[in-house]
Amino acid sequence: MKVDIAIATYRRPRGLARLLGGLERLRFPAGTPDLRVIVVDNDAGGSARAVCEQAEDWLELPVLHRVEKRRGIPQARNAAVAAALERAEFLAFIDDDEVPSPLWLAELLRVQAATGADAVTGPCEPLFEEPVARWIERGEFFARPRHATGARLDQAFTHNVLVRTRALAEFASPFDERMALSGGSDVEFFRRFAGRGHPIVWADEARVFEWVPRSRANARWILARAFRVGTSSAFVDRHRRERPVGAARLLAHGGWCIAKGATLLPVGALCGRAGAVRALRLAAFGAGRLSGLAGIHREEYRVVHGS
């Protein structure tokens, strides 16, 4: 079985080297597939080339380094898809600020074989680069939902997903390049993917770990992220190819989130900073929904966090 591992990267040499080290530690109890790593360098200057060349001294996996000069996350992801379609049966996505558990890819492949799903996704757990405030840990602001292995989902994220390339081939430029630096193009694509009848299932033991830098472990970034998710989700909802969400419904939902966040704020504040930030996060998400409806986009990924 031929499996490619796609990494979209932009000026994170330390994170990329750390991730390649994690890929070197992958284990396959049922037999190792024919693996290849695709590094799509979104820096027009090709700054990731040096990391890839240095890795040749110790990394046993073959690495294909490609430069995608057009700045944008979906542009890089589409370049990875194009490369994988040349040879692979499956394409696994992982981010350049993550490291996989040793059995990450083996678990994705095991669950895919057991279910026959066209996409398998799994959990992403935070690892903080520096100690963080207690309220951040209590609030679980970097935690993501978990599901039982085999659960059917209607979306996935490219921080941890395995996709059958035959299914990807049905989509021309799968990731919407209008969402270049705003985030959310993976959600938009996998909703279309599921809507076209391609099953997505969960593999709870296929874990990856995301390194959270100090610049993200604060209330300002948490609230800014919530606003950005609101704007990008509004774009996705408004531009669905099937059953787009109407403006009135988005307006009502955004207003409800703001009102509920404001209502919860005094009570949340009594419970400490975590409760207050949770309430403000809901309000920020609602404000983002309304801003997205008005055509405002927040390009969160124009700024690089981590190194």
Q: Tell me: the pLDDT tens digits for 109-159? A: 999 999 999 999 999 999 999 999 999 999 999 999 999 999 999 999 999
Residue 307 is assigned to a structural domain of this protein: no
In angstroms, what CA-CA distances link 56 with 36, 64, 97, 209?
A: 13, 11, 20, 24
State which amino acid sits at residue 118.
D
* Identity of the residue numbered 205: E
Range of the domain at 72: 2-212
Instruction: Say if residues 18 and 54 touch (Cβ distance below 8 Å).
Output: no
**Lowest pLDDT segment from 72-86, 153-167, 231-245:** 231-245
Looking at residue 245, what DSSP letter applies? P
* Closest alpha carbon to 51 in 96, 99, 98: 96
Q: How long, in residues, is the chain?
A: 307
By C-alpha distance, which of 276, 280, 261 is closest to 133? Answer: 276
Q: How far is CA 116 from CA 19, 54, 188, in A?
A: 28, 37, 23
Instruction: Give CA–CA dist 44/112, Å, rounded.
Output: 35
Measured in whole angstroms, the distance separating CA 139 from the mean position of its chain's CA atoms is 21
Residues 97 and 226 placed together within one structural domain of the fold: no
Distance CA 284, CA 290 (A): 10
Is 271 a residue whose pLDDT tops 90?
Answer: no
Percent share of the chain, pLDDT over 70:
100
Residues 207 and 229 in one domain: no
Per-residue pLDDT of 180-214, as tens digits, reads 999 999 999 999 999 999 999 999 999 999 999 99
Residue 274 counted as domain residue: yes
Residues 205 and 223 in one domain: no
Name the phi and psi angles at 164, rounded to 5. Answer: -70, 125
Whether 59 contacts 24, CB under 8 Å: yes
Measure the CA–CA gap between 307 and 301, rounded to whole angstroms: 14
The rounded distance, in Å, linking the Cα atoms of 145 and 154 is 14
Q: Which amino acid is at 200?
A: I
Are 198 and 240 found together in one domain?
no
- Using CA atoms, how far residue 39 sits from 53, 142, 158, in Å, is 11, 26, 14
pTM: 0.95
Query: Is residue 48 assigned to a domain?
Result: yes
CA atoms within 13 A on the CB side of 160: 28
Q: Which of 212, 227, 248 is the last residue of a domain?
A: 212
Q: What is the pLDDT of residue 195?
A: 94
Q: Are residues 182 and 239 in the same domain?
A: no
Average confidence (pLDDT) over 44-52 = 97
CATH code for position 88: 3.90.550.10
- Amino acid identity, position 132: V
Closest Cα partner for 170 from 186, 155, 192? 192
